[in-house]
């Protein structure tokens, strides 16, 4: 089976298992993830917003445009990477995802990562970071890396985690945008180093 088929099966499991039925009933559709299943980099956001809910793809609204600009600044094309969220249905009125919603989708996110096997996992924002570094503070950890182990497989695999601020936070706060752009600029060297390992 190809990675695309494996990912499609995970998406189907979420639907078949009726994960977070309350969220699902209020959302237009499941926003599973998009991009290259062979990507070296997987970006993980928080949850779909209004535009993502309508289009069915992550990061297609305002925050997505900023993400696109930053990707362009480091010469990375969207079709080289994979993007998904912790929670895969839009929370009503864009409220923060609840702990039980994040936990409900966590096994599926791990399965997505286990299929793609990226070298670099990049979390966007504190919700996404907290799934990997529960006690971490984004103001202290943004721009830093650490090794993580993805467990959901017969063969757990190691990859590198880079924790970044969420682009939405950067839209209205100049200091966050500056930090995010600075942190983003480290990606090419980091990836080059990981590709050599
Ligand atoms: N914010 C997120 O965290 N994810 C999206 O897909 C869009 C905005």
The Å distance, Cα 57 to ligand 1 centre, comes to 9
pLDDT digits (tens, 9 = 90+) for 17-58: 999 999 999 999 999 999 999 999 999 999 999 999 999 999
pLDDT for the residue numbered 151: 83
Going by CA atoms, what residue is nearest to atom 7 of ligand 1? Answer: 59
Question: Widest CA span of the chain, in angstroms?
Answer: 46
Minimum CA distance residue for ligand 1 atom 6:
58
Atom from ligand 1 closest to the CA of residue 57: 6
Taking the chain, what is the end-to-end CA distance rounded to the nearest angstrom? Answer: 27
- pLDDT tens digits, residue range 51-84? 999 999 999 999 999 999 999 999 999 999 999 9
Ligand 1 binding residues, C-beta < 6 A: 45-49, 52, 58-59, 63, 85, 168
**Res 1: pLDDT:** 87
Ligand 1 atom with the shortest distance to the CA of 58: 6
Helix (H, G, I), strand (E, B) or coil at 20: coil
For 45, 88, 160, 168, the CA distances from 118, given in Å and listed in that order, are: 16, 20, 9, 24
Q: Which of 30, 44, 46 to mutate to test the pocket of ligand 1 (most atoms within 8 A of CB)?
A: 46
> 105 phi and psi, to 5 degrees?
-90, -15
- CA–CA gap between residue 38 and residue 181 (Å, rounded): 25
Q: What is the pTM of this model?
A: 0.97
CA 43 – ligand 1 centroid, Å:
10
18 sits in which H/E element: none
């Amino acid at each position: 089976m190809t990675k695309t088929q494996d990912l499609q099966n995970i998406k189907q499991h979420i639907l078949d298992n009726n994960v977070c039925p309350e969220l699902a009933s209020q959302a237009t559709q499941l926003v599973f993830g998009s991009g290259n299943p062979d990507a070296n980099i997987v970006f993980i956001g928080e949850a779909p917003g209004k535009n993502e809910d309508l289009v069915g793809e992550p990061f297609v609204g305002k925050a997505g445009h900023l993400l696109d600009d930053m990707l362009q600044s480091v010469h990375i094309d969207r079709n080289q990477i994979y993007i998904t969220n912790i929670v895969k249905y839009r929370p009503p009125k864009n409220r923060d995802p609840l702990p039980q919603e994040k936990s409900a989708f966590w096994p599926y996110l791990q399965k997505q990562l286990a299929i793609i096997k990226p070298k670099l996992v990049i979390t966007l924002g504190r919700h996404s970071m907290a799934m990997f570094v529960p006690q971490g503070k984004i103001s202290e950890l943004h721009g830093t890396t650490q090794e993580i182990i993805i467990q959901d497989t017969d063969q757990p695999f190691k990859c590198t985690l880079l924790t970044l601020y969420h682009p939405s936070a950067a839209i209205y706060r100049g200091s966050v945008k500056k930090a995010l752009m600075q942190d983003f600029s480290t990606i090419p060297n980091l990836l080059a180093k990981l590709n050599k390992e």
